[in-house]
Chains A and B, each alone.
Chain A
Amino acid sequence: MAGPRFAAARPFRYPRGHGLTDVPAPPPRKPVRWHIAVFLAPAAIVYTILMIVPLISTLQASTMTGDAEHRAFIGLGNFVTLLTDPRWSASFWNAFRNNVYFFVINMLVQNPIGILLAALLSNPTLRLRGFYRTVIFIPTILSFVIVAFVWKLLLSPLWGVAPMIMKFFHIGQLFQPVLGKEQFALTTLSLISVWQYVGVPMMLCYAALLSIPDEVLEAAECDGITGWSQFWKIQLPLILPTIGIISILTFVGNFNAFDLIYSAQGALGGPNYSTDLLGTFLFRTFFGSTLQLGDPNMGSTVATMMFLIILAGVCLYLFGIQTRLRRYQF
């Protein structure tokens, strides 16, 4: 306690001529850390030219109206039309609702299954793990053309495999043409999307589980924490950041989804728009369809709305959840 007062009363001075004084020296200028710029430059350049600049031109188009010769700036007019004009807003909100449902199914089915499979695979004594890992990932490497074709083939009421199998088990009367019925189509397509993408959470969780050091798990075993409780108490908390990444990837992927619906149900998101997502709505608006002419400006408006929705979700995650995740260095 006495120290500071003593120091204040009799400041220490070096003898004159020593070159050292009690006057604080100006803070040393930090050298410019060029390596940071070198590390960032290649990615930033490619990304800016081919991603950001085109995006800005799309944003700009959303505030315009008219064709190439007669373009006029109308500010937020297109957005007002999209959200208030009944011809536009009904389709937009329908696509939005469907998209939320699509995301919820994916999140609740795909990610728990993926985490479960990764947990099973990460057991080092399990045989055939390489085989399982490869095979379960195969649907993810298929193109949408194949995925849509194979599921239409399996589920078709005319020459489908599903009715045959159900007849074999004497439950043929329960068969429904699920892709053609409004009340089932979206759920079916969500589950097809789950089937296709379960490999993604599985792979990411698997990589994360493998990077948990053995010492941590051995220490847990010494304390009698094994099996299921080891997963819940040790592994799951340690891979929470990865689960965060998976959730955000699912969110972004689902709100950009287009290809699966387009190849399975066509650009109209049938039957009766029941599987219309924001992606297919955007495609119809931008490029037109059998029922409407394409409108690049309204298309850009829809694209901007999608961007804002996704941005809101990602910001919620980045600031609400990611900053609270605890990370561990091994």
Chain B
Amino acid sequence: MAKARSSVFRSVASHAILLAYTFIALAPVIVIVLNSFKKKLAIFSQPLLPPLPSNYDPVGYVTVFSRGNFPLYFFNSIFVTVGTVFFVLLFGAMAAFALSEYRYRLNTVVGLYLAIGIMIPIRLGTNAILQILVASGLISALPWGPLVALILVYTAAGLPLSIFILSEFMRQVSNDLKNAARIDGMNEYKIFFRIVFPLIRPALATVAVFTLIPVWNDLWFPLILAPSESTKTVTLGAQIFVGQYLIDWNAVLASLSLAILPVLVLYIIFSRQLIRGLTAGAVK
């Protein structure tokens, strides 16, 4: 009886804390989305009112879809983001496996070498990156070359952190399991792809989420490497509404609200892996 009551109390308390934080997290975002449907005057005079018939005005969305090529921008953003996540997860997990699984002379050195990248924003090397990519001909050779260049740069930027996180999680994968597979005659590649990779799915999902967010929201490298109309990303595309003297707030709010959607969908896809990866594990 006492136990039942305390667990009811605990679950009520949990819900109260989580609901309170949900409100803190969500309220500002809701303000943005609501205001994207309102008249310009109403955005500033009554920012808290929901869109009503009196102040409803979808002009922002109309502008977004009439000016600029937003479906293409969306495609470009998704192409770059998904490509980056794929390579960061694959290359990062492979390197993390090499670092956490085997003992060899240069292990620590290689680990530190790959960790340097966590400490430096890749932007510091922008000048040299641009020179290298232009010299390689990647940017000018193909129409979608700049997008591939973006994927490469973001992969280089995302790898150090993903290796750091993944190797921490890989150390927790049971040695018995791997050794059992070795005794059964699996080679190291199969052990990696068939045993370790599925077992660290929650960590992979986490890394995927951390990789995709800065890539999706980045303004810096699209501006430098892929500024032409056919290779613009959404975040860069939204900037056409931010002028030097005049900002089209309706269009900015509408394009920003639209830009939240795809990354939210990607996030939900990856975060589902968090649960599935664990219930399907081999040792559990």
Residues 1-56 of A at the B interface (beta carbon under 8 Å): 33, 35-36, 38-40, 42-44, 46-47, 49-55
B145-161 interface (Cβ within 8 A of A): 152-153, 155-157, 159-161
- How many chain B residues touch A (CB < 8 A): the figure is 98
Chain B 154-179 interface mask (CB, 8 Å, partner A; 1/0): 01110111011100110111110000
B22 to A, closest residue via Cβ: A135
Verify B114–A117 contact, CB threshold 8 A. Answer: no
Within 8 Å by CB of A143, from B118, B120, B235, lies B235
In the assembled complex, the CB of B39 is this many whole angstroms from the nearest CB of chain A, namely 14
B271 touches A135 (CB 8 A): no
Residues on B with beta carbons closer than 8 Å to the beta carbon of A210: 202, 274-275, 278
Output the nearest chain B residue to A312 by Cβ-Cβ distance: B119
Within 8 Å by CB of B125, from A44, A54, A318, lies A54
Is the Cβ of B159 less than 8 Å from the Cβ of A138? no
The answer for the CA separation of A219 and B94 in the assembled complex, in Å, is 35
Q: Does A121 contact B (CB under 8 A)?
A: yes
Q: How far is the CB of B245 from chain A (nearest CB, A)?
A: 16
Contacting B95 at CB < 8 Å: which of A35, A44, A241, A330?
A44
Query: Given A141-B264, A161-B48, are A245 and B168 neighbors across the interface (CB < 8 Å)?
Result: yes
Q: Do A151 and B28 touch (CB < 8 A)?
A: yes
Do the beta carbons of B98 and A50 come within 8 Å of each other?
Answer: no
- Other-chain residue from A39, A47, A57, A138 in contact with B160 (beta carbon distance below 8 A): A47
Question: In this assembly, does A272 line the interface, its C-beta being within 8 Å of a C-beta of chain B?
Answer: no
State which of B32, B122, B159, B171 has its C-beta within 8 Å of the C-beta of A149. Answer: B32
Interface SS of chain B: helix
Least CB separation from B281: chain A residue: A211
Residues from chain A with a CB closer than 8 A to the CB of B31 are 150, 153-154, 161
Q: Please indicate the chain B residues that have their CB under 8 angstroms from the CB of A136 in the complex.
A: 18, 21-22, 25
- Residue of B189, B205, B206 with highest tally of chain A CB at under 10 A: B206
Among A52, A134, A141, A207, the residue within 8 A (CB) of B260 is: A141
Whether A40 lies near B95 (C-beta < 8 A) is yes
Does any Cβ of B come within 8 Å of A303's Cβ?
Answer: yes
Residues of B177-199 at the interface with A, using a CB-CB cut-off of 8 Å, are 187-189, 192
Q: With A and B bound together, what is the CA distance between A116 and B192 in angstroms?
A: 34
Q: In the complex, how many angstroms separate the beta carbon of A298 from the nearest chain B beta carbon?
A: 13
Contact of A50 among B152, B165, B192, B278 (CB under 8 A): B152
Q: Is B126 an interface residue (CB 8 A)?
A: yes
CA A138 to CA B261, docked complex, whole Å: 10
Indicate whether A157 reaches chain B with its CB closer than 8 angstroms: no
A117 to B117, CA, bound (A): 30
A307 beta carbon closer than 8 Å to chain B: yes
Given contacts A55-B120, A213-B284, contact A146 B32 (CB under 8 A): yes
Residues on B with beta carbons closer than 8 Å to the beta carbon of A242: 168
B126→A207 contact, CB < 8 A: no
The contact of B217 among A113, A142, A150, A303, by CB within 8 Å, is A142
Chain B residues in 8 Å Cβ range of A93: none
Q: B67 interface residue, CB < 8 Å from A?
A: no
A139 on interface, CB distance cutoff 8 Å: yes
Bound form: Cα–Cα A311–B116 in Å: 8
Alpha-carbon distance between A151 and B25 when the two chains are bound, in angstroms? 12
Task: Verify A49–B48 contact, CB threshold 8 A.
Answer: no
Q: Which of B92, B129, B213 contacts A54 (CB 8 A)?
A: B129
- Which single residue of chain B is at the shortest CB-CB distance from A227? B10
B275 to chain A: which residues have CB within 8 Å? 130, 210
- Give A295 to B256 CA distance when docked, in angstroms: 34
Asked if B228 CB lies within 8 Å of chain A CBs, one says no
Q: Scoring B residues 258 to 284 as 1 if CB is less than 8 Å from chain A, else 0, what string do you get?
A: 011001100110010011001000011
**Contact pick for A121, options B18, B119, B122, B213, CB 8 Å:** B18
Say whether A203 faces chain B, with CB atoms less than 8 Å apart.
yes
Which interface residue of A144, A150, A303 has the most chain B CB atoms within 10 A? A150
Q: Quick one: given A120-B14, A141-B260, are A36 and B25 in contact (CB under 8 Å)? A: no
Contact residues in A for B173 (Cβ distance below 8 Å) = 329
Least Cβ–Cβ distance between A56 and chain B, in angstroms: 8
In the complex, B73 has a CB within 8 A of chain A: no
Apart from A43-B163, A47-B114, A143-B259, what 4 extra A-B contacts exist at CB < 8 Å?
A50-B152, A150-B29, A210-B278, A329-B172
Ordered by A's residue number, 23 sampled pairs between the chains whose C-beta atoms are within 8 Å are A44-B95, A46-B159, A50-B157, A54-B126, A54-B129, A58-B124, A58-B128, A120-B17, A121-B18, A126-B14, A128-B15, A134-B268, A138-B29, A146-B32, A153-B47, A159-B44, A161-B47, A164-B48, A210-B278, A211-B172, A245-B165, A245-B168, A258-B121
Chain A residues with CB under 8 Å of chain B are: 33, 35-36, 38-40, 42-44, 46-47, 49-55, 57-58, 113, 116-117, 120-121, 123, 125-126, 128, 130, 132-146, 149-151, 153-154, 159-161, 164, 195, 198, 200, 203-204, 206-207, 210-211, 213-214, 227, 241-242, 245, 248-249, 252, 256, 258, 279, 282, 296, 300, 303, 306-307, 310-311, 314, 318, 327-330
